[in-house]
Amino acid sequence: MRITRSALVAVLASGLTACAGETPEQATARMEAEATAARAEIVAINAKMTPWMVSGLIDSTMAYYAADAVVMPPALPQVQGSAAIRQFFVDNPFPPGSAMEFKVASVVANGPVAVERGTYTFSMPAMEKNPAVAMTGKYLSHWKLVDGKWKIAASTWSDDAPMTM
């Protein structure tokens, strides 16, 4: 069964309205407005953060992670907390000439929480004996408001290539 974004928003809204004193329609409208605002900010953050990531500007990149964030890379254990995530980026730098682009497919928000879903492309040139790489994939990021600013609370991604056994 496939659940549409509007159905998900309506279900979430109806479950949360009893406490907030909102009608389901009011909650849906509020959450859609919050999602629109969050999406604009998240798209802007991604536009700033992506070149920093591929350029190795770790301090700039880390400015958009919550202190207790969790990163869940494919085929590796999760990485939790600012110090560990910073070290993950130090230990796994992007090769020179790499390029990455994120395309936001959807953002759902409710108050201080947002969930972003999207796709990415990544490429890097051939280096020494390693061939050039061009890949596509998908990602999911949980964002939270920290002191009025959106920060990544958790993120995971995987490429679209078939699994090898």
Q: What is the pLDDT of residues 11-21, one digit of tens each?
A: 455 455 445 68
Burial of 141: CB neighbours in 10 Å, binned 0-12, 13-18, 19+: buried
Provide the residue type at 160 as one letter: D
Distance in angstroms (rounded) separating the CA atoms of residues 86 and 151? 15
Q: How many CA atoms lie within 13 A of 57 on its CB side?
A: 10
Among 139, 144, 54, CA closest to 99: 54
pTM summary value: 0.83
Strand partners, 124: 133
Distance in angstroms (rounded) separating the CA atoms of residues 50 and 30? 30
pLDDT in tens, the chain (165 residues): 455 555 555 545 545 544 568 999 999 999 999 999 999 999 999 999 999 999 999 999 999 999 999 999 999 999 999 999 999 999 999 999 999 999 999 999 999 999 999 999 999 999 888 899 999 999 999 999 999 999 999 999 999 988 777
Token reading at 123: 């490429």
pLDDT digits (tens, 9 = 90+) for 90-127: 999 999 999 999 999 999 999 999 999 999 999 999 98
Residue indicated by tokens 């400015």: 63
